[in-house]
């Protein structure tokens, strides 16, 4: 069986179309490849769209205690990029509700206008190292991760701590 070659996009439905569209354009630095009163197709890279947002004004508010998607994630190329996104959003009054070192990633989780959860992350390990880590005792003991404070990490990083030190799972949260 052939597996897909990539994950292409997510479609969000909302009753708050204009607000959601503005939030996602800003959050991703995206542009609309097509936009009308019903739907917008947003992209920030070489994909024709990564997020589509459909205007459905008849929808009720999201109920969080039902089944569905927990969150989806976007990876940044560098730790600097992840920290820049954190500071950019913070300056707009948008702070993550959770910051965590998962071991293989350093992550910040946000909620969009409708409460959809989105993770921003930096891969702190190669795929081979992540596979080894996830098969090891540290991950088995805590497969979710260790809460961290980006303010503390950014200060340490700007004072000369290395990427490896900032993202080290064994010392995370200390």
Q: Given this model, what pLDDT does residue 170 score? A: 86
CA–CA separation, 118 and 104 (whole Å): 17
Structure-model confidence comparison of residues 62 and 49, the more confident one: 49
Note the pLDDT tens digit of each residue in 14-37. 999 999 999 999 999 999 999 999
CA–CA separation, 78 and 171 (whole Å): 20
pLDDT confidence band for 3 (50 / 70 / 90) = confident
pLDDT of residue 140 exceeding 90, the answer is yes
Q: Domains plus CATH for the chain? A: 8-57 (3.10.180.10), 71-174 (3.30.720.110)
CA–CA separation, 174 and 170 (whole Å): 9
- CA 2 centroid distance within chain: 28
Residues in the chain: 174
What is the average pLDDT value for the chain, to the nearest integer? Answer: 95
pLDDT confidence band for 88 (50 / 70 / 90) = very high
pLDDT of residue 174 exceeding 80, the answer is no
Which value, to the nearest 10 degrees, does the dihedral of the CA atoms of residues 142, 145, 146, 149 take? 180
pLDDT confidence band for 171 (50 / 70 / 90) = confident
Note the pLDDT tens digit of each residue in 96-134. 999 999 999 999 999 999 999 999 999 999 999 999 999
**N- to C-terminal Cα separation, the chain:** 45
Structure-model confidence comparison of residues 174 and 137, the more confident one: 137
According to DSSP, residue 131 is labeled: H
For residue 132, count other CB atoms closer than 10 A to its CB. Answer: 13
CA–CA separation, 101 and 111 (whole Å): 18
Cβ neighbours of residue 170 closer than 8 Å, sequence gap 6 or more: 138
């Amino acid at each position: 069986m052939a597996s897909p070659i990539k994950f292409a996009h997510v479609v969000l439905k909302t009753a708050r179309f204009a607000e959601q569209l503005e939030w996602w354009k800003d959050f991703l630095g995206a542009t609309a490849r097509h936009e009308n009163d019903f739907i917008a197709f947003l992209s920030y890279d070489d994909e024709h769209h990564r997020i589509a947002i459909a205007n459905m004004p008849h929808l009720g508010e999201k109920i969080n205690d039902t089944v569905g998607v927990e969150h989806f994630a976007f990876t940044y190329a560098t730790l600097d990029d992840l920290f820049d996104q954190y500071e950019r959003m913070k300056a707009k009054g948008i702070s993550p509700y959770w910051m965590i070192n998962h071991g293989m990633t350093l992550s910040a989780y946000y909620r969009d206008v409708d409460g959809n959860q989105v993770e921003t992350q930096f891969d702190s390990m190669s795929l081979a190292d992540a596979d080894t880590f996830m098969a090891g005792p540290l991950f088995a003991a805590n497969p979710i991760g260790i809460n961290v404070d980006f303010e503390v990490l950014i200060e340490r990083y700007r004072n000369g701590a290395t990427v490896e030190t900032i993202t080290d799972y064994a010392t995370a949260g200390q």
